[in-house]
Structure 1
């Protein structure tokens, strides 16, 4: 039996969370998607809920309390989490941010889209 796809979106913007979940549902309604409002909450979810190991983590960079880069470092330094692909999901298209996150172990880097259609096209790469 094929394992159910799931993801964790760590993003402090509730509107972006809703848009992401709506687009994801249109791409594949069977994907289970959890959200966390910041890196600290996201790490807590990953470290305390043994029943939830997401297929992908989508991670914003600019968040309060813990930046996306710090959260990515914490994920990749934890042997239980390090193998989960982390996709940076940010408004930043700065080449330095892209390179820094790749160096920290990000699997991919996605610039937030202004249209649901383009976001769906991106999500199809992971969940189709």
Structure 2
């Protein structure tokens, strides 16, 4: 997707206030034209996505471990609905357990990003994800391309 000429609609769902702040700062520094909507838990996210007036995002960054409704529960619910079949979902988590990676992969996430502890790596990860040709990436999706390694 050409991020220099068109505005991207991006959703971030993460219960950690610091992680939300760093993500917003990274987006600002990357100078990507975007409409970033942020949610603190999975219930808020799903209410938003199911609202009839919601414009579907280009990409959803989804934390796994959240209160109210986990990222995995959201992922499963999203993939149950045909209207979300083309929604790109980037799992964005502090976890890098094989079980979490496997479960999100088999439930239809498009990529798994372990939250970087370094701000420059965070910017690099976001930039990488926003510039992926998702149709090509998804068509050739396998475990090796699923886990983003920086």
TM class by smaller structure: over 0.9
Which of residues 5, 8, 12 is equivalent to 2:8? Answer: 5
Aligned residue for 2:85, secondary structure, equals coil
Q: Which residue of 1 aligns with 2:143?
A: none
Q: Where does structure 1 lack aligned partners over 5 or more consecutive residues? A: none
Determine the C-alpha separation between the residues in 2 that align with 1:43 and 1:51.
Answer: 11
1:27 corresponds to 2:17:
no
Deviant stretches of 4+, over 3 Å = none
Q: Which residue of 2 aligns with 1:87?
A: 90
1:52 corresponds to 2:55:
yes
Aligned length: 127
Q: Where does structure 2 lack aligned partners over 5 or more consecutive residues? A: 132-150
Aligned residue for 2:49, secondary structure, equals helix
Aligned residue for 1:73, secondary structure, equals helix
Aligned residue for 1:101, secondary structure, equals helix
Determine the C-alpha separation between the residues in 2 that align with 1:16 and 1:30.
Answer: 20
**Bigger RCO (CA 8 Å, 6+ sep):** 1
TM-score w.r.t. structure 2 length? 0.79
